[in-house]
Structure 1
Amino acid sequence: MAKLLYTLKLALMKQHIALLPQDTITTRQQVPKIRAFAIFITHIYAKWWLTCEKSVDAAWNDLTLYHHLQAYKAVDEGIAASAIKALERLRWYLTGEMLPLALFSSKVPNEDKHALASGILEHKPADLPMHISEQRFGK
């Protein structure tokens, strides 16, 4: 989170930094990248980071973030692609044990809850993608 805050500070202080000798804090090549990342933080990332108060909302928030990142490709394809790649590395927690938590989220529409519940009930316990912690974490 510190990197995000420092990026925002740099973006906000751009005019003051420009008055300093060249390359004191940022190079000319970094300034547009800092601005692009600050736009991404304010429009996409901050909302996602701050709105997940409960674990039951995590899967829904990640799905919503994924949809926002797909739309953000129209603004900055490079940042969106990098963020999607990072988000895909976080999918490890979407296991058979965690997905039913979405049934208790107030953010998930009822139609989606019904579809999730139906999908869970269609499978026998042996068919569900449950994993032993040793398999997931290598213990």
Structure 2
Amino acid sequence: MVIGMCFDTTASNTGNLNGACTLLEKAMGRILLWMACRHHKFEVLLAGVYSVCLGTSTGPEILFFKRFREKWTEMNHTPEARSTSLIIVSDAIKAFIKCQLEVRHSRDDYLEFLLLAAHIVGLQVDVAIRKPGARHRARWMAKAIYALKIELLFTVNKTIFNLTARKLQGIQRLNRFIICVYLQSWFSCRLTADAPVNDILLIQRLHDYDDAVLGSTGLKMMLRHSWYMSPELATLALFSSLLSDKEKTDLVRTIQADREHYHKVLTICVKHPILMPVFLMYLLKTERGVALVKHFNETITKDAEQKPFLLQVVEQHRKNFTEYNRELLAKI
């Protein structure tokens, strides 16, 4: 029996009236579990960060990368030997990359991405910088792969690249985000059970990232896609390998001991999907979840018992002031 759907997040699939997912539910006569592909969401994230770092590009290809591919035959393809890494990262990120290199990946570009990342953070790996391939917008990870190659080869090809200081800083800024924030989420999002926790960890990394502009860009994207975090997917965290047994036990106890508040918050979030990330953080009362909720309402209340009621106040306010929209409030 079919109980769920996995799909990319184009409007043709997710539209309320004529989206493929909606039509499938109508055809089957019952509600299905919506499991939106996280890879598509992270492609949107990377595109947004790229635009901030290097500007927007029109057309099917990004001209900056197209020129890099066209100059390939003139370049030295061996990165400069260095005593220090181009991007300084924590031991945790290095350990994650090493762990992923031991996993068998279904696509060659996954492995290429990892090898380039390992090289740029200073890990000893045998990697050859491969000739650039397709750069159309439909190819996942292409922006990350191209950007990493450009920084690795820049020193030995300065005159060929002929990058302005602004372009070089943009590439370096983009690559640092890719390594420190993006890479872990990309390789941890393939399992449905891990998706809720993985999304929360991404929100945490975006919130704590020291480049405020890129962090804000990522958080805005997560807010637009908060409907991914459905209540059903939140409870799938019980089967996630990203949570310890103790955290899973605490999660179950939270639901059992606070069932009334759980259902109240759940009802509110179903009506207002924009609040779903907060519901998920409330549901996952782990150190990670508690820290995120603290960031959310630290200026309003620090009382753990009052956190669920915060959402209820928002709901009541919307009921009492239904006529106040964004345009009207802007005039006050």
Please give the TM-score of this superposition, normalised by the length of structure 1: 0.74
Q: CA deviation at 1:117?
A: 5.5
Aligned-residue Cα RMSD (Å) equals: 2.5
The question of whether the paired residues in 2 share the 8 Å contact of 1:103 and 1:117 is answered with: no
Q: 1:16 aligns with which of 151, 156, 173?
A: 156
Q: 2:88 corresponds to which residue? A: none
Residue number among 48, 51, 54 corresponding to 2:185 in the alignment: 48
Unaligned runs of 5+ in 1: 132-139
| Residue correspondence of structure 1 range 38-117 to structure 2 within 5 A | 38-72=175-209, 74=210, 76-108=211-243, 109-110=247-248, 111-116=250-255
Mapped partners of 1:83, 1:38: distance in 2: 15
* Distance of 2:256 and 2:156 partners within structure 1: 55
Q: Is the 8 A contact 1:69 1:83 kept in 2?
A: yes
Distance 1:49 1:21 in 2: 29
Shift of 1:90: 2.2
State whether residues 102 and 113 of structure 1, in contact with CA within 8 Å, keep that contact through their aligned partners in structure 2. no
Larger radius of gyration: 2
| Divergent runs of 4+, >6 A | none
The aligned residue for residue 283 of structure 2 is none
The verdict on how the C-alpha distance between 1:130 and 1:82 changes in structure 2, with shifts beyond 3 A counting, is: closer
Unmatched 5+ stretches in structure 2: 1-140, 272-332
Mapped partners of 2:223, 2:203: distance in 1: 9
What is the aligned partner in structure 1 of residue 306 from structure 2?
A: none
Give the corresponding residue for 1:35.
172
Alignment of 1:124-139 (within 5 A): 127=267
**Partners of 1:113 and 1:3 in 2: CA distance:** 40
Deviations 1:28-58 (A, max 9, x none): 3111011011011111110111122310110
Please give the secondary structure, in 1, of the residue aligned with 2:231.
coil
Where does residue 137 of structure 1 map in the other structure? none
Q: Which residue of 1 aligns with 2:146?
A: 6
| C-alpha distance in structure 2 between counterparts of 1:87 and 1:130, whole Å | 17
Q: Percent identity?
A: 29
Contact 1:70–1:80 at 8 Å: present in 2 too? yes
Instruction: Give the partner amino acid of 2:154.
Output: K
Whole-angstrom distance in 2 between the partners of 1:80 and 1:35? 16
How far apart are 1:13 and its partner, in Å?
A: 1.6
Write out per-residue CA displacement over residues 97-131 of structure 1, whole angstroms, 9 at most, x where no aligned residue.
32221122232322234325655x4338x948558
